[in-house]
Amino acid sequence: MRKVLITGTAGFIGYHLAQLLLAEGMAVHGYDAFTDYYDVTLKQARHARLARTNAFTSTLGRVEDLALLTRVTQDFAPDVIVHLAAQAGVRYSLENPQSYIESNVVGTFNVLECARLAQVSHLVLSSTSSVYGGNTAMPFRETDKADQPLTIYAATKKAGEALSHSYAHLWGIPTTAVRFFTVYGPWGRPDMALFKFTRAMLEGNPVEIYNGGDLYRDFTYVSDLVEAIRLLIDVPPRKGEPVAGNDSLSEVAPYRVVNIGNSEKVRLLDFIDALEEALGVKAVRHYMEMQKGDVFATWADNSLLKSLTGFSPTTDYRTGVRHFTNWYHDYYRA
């Protein structure tokens, strides 16, 4: 039985990925700290659903705890590690930057050490479209420079990419860094726009819309995202073996970066229109200025993902929004 260690299984993406791997008959060990950045009961509910399967085991712990993480890795002996645990949120990094350094830099270093000791066949770690920072040429390609992070969150995720490249070079660890583009869907994070907008609209409160709604995002439905990760697990990078002319494969290491996005630029106001239609409620719109560290638009070039896996996310944002609101009504009885 294939064994996969996933950090962050009580999180939004980690939960969905663990579900998918378990459904395929893999053994999954989840490692999560249940931090209180957002509602812990939501994290507990995700893990409780995973625990219905005997092939799922878990450890409560922080990735900053190297001794515990090392012991768990040695005991479980994973074939693959998927590192998703992170301090998330662009805006919160303005309030508590230290938590991002501890989790996203120190924690990632600890995972890399464990991957080295375990000699895993593939390490997959999460990054973000935020690393593209001040880039204006779109769609974003993995071969674009990403040296102008606009937030501490983005800087820490870029640091994780750089650290993992050095480990891939020094220790020959096949490593794929996946850059996520605005992931949404059922069981999502309460600090994300769709969740916040839904809650506000159902409670009759105004929704805060930055830059007058003149923002564009490449919204990626969570089931598409985890399907892409699942397929990428099977294609570890091999030094000197690019798959296409646009491959981001390192010249000196078994390491590549891959975008996962819907490859569609959607205006925020259109996204809100879709939410109004799904809920049958009109939003009370409170227009605000651009937030510090925000970017005007994100848009993924998905051609490398397609070359590697034959797969591209296709879920239309209107469909994805309906799936989310159905889940929200069911979970919160709202």
Any idea which residues carry the catalytic annotation?
153
Residues 191, 38: contact at Cβ < 8 Å? yes
Omega within 30 of 0 (cis) for the link into 206: no
* Other residues' Cβ atoms within 10 Å of the Cβ of residue 37: 19
Phi, psi of 217 (to 5 degrees): -135, 150
Whole-angstrom Cα distance, residue 108 to residue 111? Answer: 5
Residues in Cβ contact with 139 at an 8 Å cutoff, skipping those fewer than 6 apart: 218, 263, 265, 299, 300, 301
Where are the strands (E) in 250-296, listed by range?
A: 255-260, 266-267, 284-288
Residues in Cβ contact with 283 at an 8 Å cutoff, skipping those fewer than 6 apart: 197, 200, 201, 206, 207, 272, 275, 276
Q: What's the residue count for the chain?
A: 334
